[in-house]
């Protein structure tokens, strides 16, 4: 049984059905990437899995427990965290306060949890007393990830971790994600526009198009598939 199992998920906004029955699995300690065109429903899928929007039908199972109808905060309590693409830090709080907020469910935030975050991203230690909103987009992304990790989740959903990063920082971000998985044994499900780079660090990947599964395979298989390359990876 995988860590996360989304089956036949149908969801959308108002009357608009966006996801028409999507399946996704994430295994323990796996890095899985969802790619696909703009508007395919990738972010919507993340929100449906995490409980920010309702699943109209289908099921989401996490650690063998059905979480389909749980609210996002309840899902977080189960050990599944989510890093949205935008507005993922509290700009008016300091870096350190942001990390404390990340651990809000955990009554005793331990100094070693801060140390782990600061060791991973030293710039956060340097800037721990500065407002998060004063940092660059890339630094905010590091903070958002670190805040999610404060609860020691077994899975994090990350929507476009490389969005807004300078091109020379994109590979660093993917290396950091691999490092996080290796060190903390946290599985990662991400959505990415930088499909080639993301798939190259992924154990498995999915192509989502128009709210439906199109292809799935190992990261390598998707990178080598002529169809996937031509249709989704820009040749």
Ligand X SMILES: Nc1ncnc2c1ncn2[C@@H]1O[C@H](COP(=O)(O)OP(=O)(O)O)[C@@H](O)[C@H]1O
Burial of 38 (0-12, 13-18, 19+ CB in 10 A): exposed
Report the alpha-carbon distance of residue 95 to residue 76 in Å, rounded.
Answer: 21
Decide if residue 13 touches ligand X (CB under 6 A).
yes
Report how many helices (DSSP H) and strands (DSSP E) the chain contains, helices first.
10, 10
Beta strands 57-62 and 4-13, pairing class: antiparallel
| Closer residue to ligand X, CB minimum distance, 13 or 104 | 13
Decide if residue 88 touches Mg ion (CB under 5 A).
no
Phi and psi torsions of 234, nearest 5°? 70, 40
Decide if residue 43 touches Mg ion (CB under 5 A).
yes
Least distance to ligand X, CB of residue 96, Å: 31
Cβ atoms of 81 and 35 closer than 8 Å: no
Enumerate residues 27-86 that contact ligand X by CB under 6 A.
36, 38-44
Least distance to ligand X, CB of residue 122, Å: 31
Decide if residue 162 touches ligand X (CB under 6 A).
no
| Closer residue to Mg ion, CB minimum distance, 42 or 120 | 42
Question: Footprint of ligand X on this chain (CB under 6 A)?
Answer: 13, 16, 18, 36, 38-44
Question: Footprint of Mg ion on this chain (CB under 5 A)?
Answer: 42-43
């Amino acid at each position: 049984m995988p860590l996360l199992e989304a089956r036949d998920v149908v969801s959308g906004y108002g009357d608009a059905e966006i996801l028409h029955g999507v399946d996704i699995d994430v295994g323990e300690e796996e890095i899985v990437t969802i790619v696909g065109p703009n508007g395919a429903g990738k972010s919507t899928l993340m929100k449906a899995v995490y409980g920010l929007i309702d699943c109209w039908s289908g099921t989401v199972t996490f650690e063998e427990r059905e979480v389909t109808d749980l609210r996002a905060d309840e899902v977080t309590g189960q050990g599944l965290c989510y890093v949205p693409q935008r507005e993922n830090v509290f700009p008016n709080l300091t870096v350190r306060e942001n990390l404390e907020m990340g651990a809000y469910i955990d009554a005793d935030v331990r100094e070693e949890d801060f140390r782990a975050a600061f060791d991973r991203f030293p710039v956060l230690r340097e800037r721990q007393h500065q407002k998060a909103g004063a940092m660059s987009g890339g630094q905010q992304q590091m903070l958002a990830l670190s805040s999610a990790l404060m609860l020691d989740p077994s899975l994090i959903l990350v929507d476009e971790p490389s969005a807004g990063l300078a091109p020379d920082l994109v590979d660093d971000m993917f290396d950091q994600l691999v490092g996080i998985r290796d060190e903390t044994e946290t599985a990662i499900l991400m959505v990415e526009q930088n499909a080639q780079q993301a798939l190259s660090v992924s154990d498995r990947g999915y192509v989502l198009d128009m709210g439906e599964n199109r292809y799935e395979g190992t990261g390598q298989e998707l990178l080598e598939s002529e169809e996937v390359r031509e249709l989704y990876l820009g040749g």
